[in-house]
Structure 1
Amino acid sequence: MLAAIGEFERDLIKERAADGISRAKVNGVKFGARRKLSDDQISEIRMWRQSPQINRADLARKYGISRSTLYRLTEGLDGQNSE
């Protein structure tokens, strides 16, 4: 009996949370972490990536991001997998 009441209460909580989230989205609230780089910085990274003088590890260090993030940002710029 108590389990059924607990389950019902949990369903109510989930429903209220979903309503709150949908209301917040309608009001323009953004969820998740803030972007670490601006659009200008991403453009700079893409420009630098095409230069053979700097490797990806140095470029990632310069902007304080991981190499995997750098790979994702520059995906499709070249067919190389070397650093």
Structure 2
Amino acid sequence: MESSNPSPLFDPLSTVKNSPDLLNLPGDSEVWSSLKQAISSSSGFKRWQLERNIDNQLSSLGLDTLVRRYLRETLETLAY
């Protein structure tokens, strides 16, 4: 029998947020910068932007925020 309350999703970002040691690893910013650039140039990210009518040049959110939102939504979709 299915429960009417869905189980909470695993949030890997909350694990990182609650682990300060994971946020300050050597080379962290360089790795994130490289990943962010690779993700933002991917076809999946570009399609995600088009589906949401997000113009990267006009967005006030910034690339960092857009990539984080894209990753969060992608992980949530995969969790289902």
Please give the range of the TM-score, normalised by the shorter of the 2 chains.
under 0.3
- Normalised TM-score (structure 1): 0.24
- Normalised TM-score (structure 2): 0.25
Q: Which has the higher contact order (CA 8 A, sep 6+)?
A: 2
